[in-house]
Structure 1
Amino acid sequence: MTSIPRRAQFGRLLRRSLWLLLGLSLGLPLLLAALALQSQPSVPAPPALEGVQLQQASDILRQNDPRQLPPGGLRVARLSEAQLQLLLGRLVNRYHEARATAQLAQHEALLEASIPLREGGTGPWLNIRARFQETGSLPRLRQLRIGHLPLPTWASDWLVRRLTERLTAQAELRVAGELIQHIGFAPGQLEMSYVWKPDSLKKALNARWPASEQARLQHYNALLVKLCEPHLSGTPVSVANVMPPFFAEALQRSAAGEDPRLENRAAFIILALHAAGEHANRLLPAALGWPRARPMPITANGREDFAQHLLVSVVLAIEGGGPLADAIGIYKEVADSRGGSGFSFNDLAADLAGTRMGLYAERDPAGLQKRLAAQAPEHDFMPRTDDLPEFLSAEALQQQYGGLQGQGYRRMMAMIRQRVDALPLYR
């Protein structure tokens, strides 16, 4: 008689246990997600880039240009914390408004990143806090925290192993791992030792482009060669007449399953290189044997330099985001005013239009392909430039517009931005 109640008790216990296991299986991931995800970023938005920062970055690259090393020579590059912040900020900005920052101390570094899980930076946010410790070679991850969730050492080690496996599968990072010997930390400074080998530049550039991307660039290079063939050498062609066949091709390939963002990127890179008088082997040594297109100057508003500004700014915006493209455009104009061709507001207008086009290519890649394939006229994407001042010396820029911080300069830039905003392609 007692076996029935016992069986009933066992049955109730079993059901409760199953419900508990079910609750844990459903609730634990939700709890972990709640701890890991946050409504606000822990890293503040980076400040707008200034020309002086780009000058500093340019100086660093020039001082540490590994091509100046003898084969096998060991070189030490040093970055201040501010310079590292600049590089980190531009690196992660490509990924949907992500942010990153670093703090450098004796033999250790604290890196923080905030990554929105929705486009536009609306959150929820994945806030990551990682502490690295200096070793005899590459740094070791010592602590890792995601949101409110600290990861135990075994979980951090497992994650690092998996991440390392994935990263070393990428040729570009594998080459970097072969070159870098040691990374050290000191208060406010990062120090990196690397070895430059005879074939390092070629390997690094080729590794930058996976085989699929090399094939994509080669495809658009072949298309450029075909388009240039019937033109008389030296006969200028409007960028509005060059882009439609490129983006009709991109649209067709995207419909067949190719990534439209990568198609746009490859098409614009080939166009920008050609507009600048360069060949694909400037970026990809493996392209040395690719055929070269006949000379065909590309113009915008009747000028080759405007087409160069437009197309190069498109690529910069795709590669590094709008703020970087804008800042590089301003930096170049400032450099020109100090000994080059002079500061030109009309060049900046072309830069801003190119930045907008590049951001459009990322935000709505198929939409841009359709618009450009339909033979959008120049005035749909290129603002009026004939009334904008150019060839200003540094002294004239300061006297007439108050320099880059002056009210005159700000008014002129606001007017140019209004013109770009009003263009049909960007509305």
Structure 2
Amino acid sequence: MSLSKISSLLLLPLLVIILSGPFIILLLAVQTEPAVTNPPALTSNEISRVEQLLLKSAPQSPSARSEQNLQLNADELNLLLSYSINMTRLSPEWAAVLTLADNTVNTKLTFQLVDGWIPLYLNFGVNLILNDSLLVLDKLVVGKLQVPNGLLELASTSMRSYLDGENKTYQNFSELIANVDQISVIQDRIYVTLQWDPILISRISEQAQQLFISDEDQQRIMEHYRLISEIAAAIPANLRAVSLNTFLVPMFTAANEKSKSGSDPIAENRTLFQTLAIYVNHEDISQLLGETLAKEMQPAKYIEVRLQRRQDLAQHLVSIAAITASTGADFAQLLSTTKEAYDARYRSGFSFSDLTANTVGVYLASYSTQDPATAIEMQKRLATLQTESDYMPEVGDNRDGISESDFAAIYSDRNSPEYQRRLADIQALIKTRALFKGLD
């Protein structure tokens, strides 16, 4: 046998191995059983626990720098993780669970690739260990395949090197990590000491908002903001404040005209609430557009916007409407009740007036982004508003400023029958408003 034939015979198996390598890796990585299954929907008690965990973790003065000490056990971490997956609409494709041990955090994640007769999953095992008071990646397993540590280090170094110079979000995230003074994991509990930096948190929040705003939505936001500028410019200089309806009516009239011309009514309504919330709260439009696009916009003349002669009610309603339109009613309601609990503990006290305005905001945005037909119907109704009472019940007789101790004495907690009845009464009253009739 010639040397060339021998070489060919030797090269053939090598070629087969090279060509089949990706297929073998795929077989090792993809599995037919999930490592983690989705838990059932959170109960009202579990959602109440999420509220309490958020309240416990919040700084007493969010606008001031301070040292924060957090501690959570594995059960609490998994509750927050499960809620986050649901809130970000990653479920049911994604599922995850954490376990804690001394100096170690282990995470299992499952991503469903195919849901059919033979379902396929990517299962990840991520092991983090404490190193110099910070958690670092120790091991990554995908299906039955462990990623070599050398490859992990190379990929991590290359990614950090690229992002350090090109990505502001990563730079802010790196700064956030640098603000963590201490992490310790003892048995099934993690302890974190960090420096709360409100300016940094604000920057990260703005960048997170912008990640979920498409180029098309940015153009819609710019159009909404130009209309706000026109409305504000037409308000007589001697007026100190105007009703929320001054903006709602012309803005939804314009949104309805755009929908008639073929624009997505849900996107029009969502971006309208986002833009109006920026204006009503006297914030910078760059939060939604970023610095570059914001420079193209002339700042709108600001005038105070009120609801039932109160600026805070207008701010509550529009802010929660924007959050509902962006992230969904469940998260907006959680944020609303947690914020009132925070006020009861640290600030002006629990307010049923604020909660009513928040709930109106949830209903307003939920219907306005429910489906195209309902979105258009809401545009028509909001374009023909007559009075604020068309959507907002009178709150003048509410008892507000309730301290945490007084709230506990009256209602025990937010799962009590008494408190749930009060919430049901508020919701029933809102549904009697002209704007919401016949929508269910």
TM-score, scaled relative to structure 2: 0.64
In 1, the alpha carbon distance for the partners of 2:69 and 2:341 equals 27
CA deviation after TM superposition for structure 1 residue 29, in Å: 8.1
Q: What's the counterpart of residue 99 of structure 2?
A: 103
CA deviation after TM superposition for structure 1 residue 37, in Å: 5.4
Q: What's the counterpart of residue 172 of structure 1?
A: 169
In 1, the alpha carbon distance for the partners of 2:48 and 2:258 equals 33
Contact conserved, 1:40 with 1:125, CA < 8 A, in 2? no
In 1, the alpha carbon distance for the partners of 2:399 and 2:141 equals 52
Matches within 5 A, 1:102-251: 102-113=98-109, 129-135=125-131, 139-140=136-137, 142-145=139-142, 149-154=143-148, 161=155, 168=163, 171-177=168-174, 180-181=177-178, 184-187=183-186, 188-189=189-190, 191=192, 204=204, 207-208=207-208, 209=210, 212=215, 217-232=221-236, 233=239, 234-238=241-245, 240-245=248-253, 247-248=255-256, 251=259
CA deviation after TM superposition for structure 1 residue 140, in Å: 1.5
- Tell me which amino acid in the other structure corresponds to 1:255: S
Structure 2 unaligned segments of length 5 or more: list them.
1-18
Q: What's the counterpart of residue 399 of structure 2?
A: 390
Counterpart among 302, 319, 325 of residue 312 in structure 1: 319
Distance 1:133 1:160, change over 3 A: farther
CA deviation after TM superposition for structure 1 residue 291, in Å: 0.8
Root-mean-square deviation (CA, aligned residues, Å) is: 5.3
- Report the identity percentage: 17
Distance 1:108 1:336, change over 3 A: closer
CA deviation after TM superposition for structure 1 residue 204, in Å: 4.5
In 2, the alpha carbon distance for the partners of 1:220 and 1:206 equals 19
Contact conserved, 1:272 with 1:308, CA < 8 A, in 2? yes
CA deviation after TM superposition for structure 1 residue 186, in Å: 1.5
CA deviation after TM superposition for structure 1 residue 410, in Å: 1.8
1:80 aligns to 2:75 (yes or no) = no
Counterpart among 348, 355, 371 of residue 377 in structure 2: 371
Q: What's the counterpart of residue 322 of structure 1?
A: 329
- Tell me which amino acid in the other structure corresponds to 2:54: L
Contact conserved, 1:311 with 1:354, CA < 8 A, in 2? yes
1:63-116 CA-partner distances (Å, limit 9, x unpaired): xx8x748xxxxx897553467556545543333263654333333212345667
In 1, the alpha carbon distance for the partners of 2:431 and 2:30 equals 40
Aligned length: 386
CA deviation after TM superposition for structure 1 residue 413, in Å: 1.4
- Tell me which amino acid in the other structure corresponds to 1:393: I
1:259-293 CA-partner distances (Å, limit 9, x unpaired): 955x5544322212322344436788835884133
1:363-406 CA-partner distances (Å, limit 9, x unpaired): 54x45542333243668983534587332634664555455344
SS at match of 1:176: helix
Distance 1:204 1:55, change over 3 A: closer
SS at match of 1:180: helix
Contact conserved, 2:306 with 2:313, CA < 8 A, in 1? no
In 2, the alpha carbon distance for the partners of 1:44 and 1:103 equals 21
CA deviation after TM superposition for structure 1 residue 241, in Å: 1.4
CA deviation after TM superposition for structure 1 residue 205, in Å: 6.3
Contact conserved, 1:105 with 1:186, CA < 8 A, in 2? yes
1:293 aligns to 2:294 (yes or no) = no
In 1, the alpha carbon distance for the partners of 2:167 and 2:369 equals 23
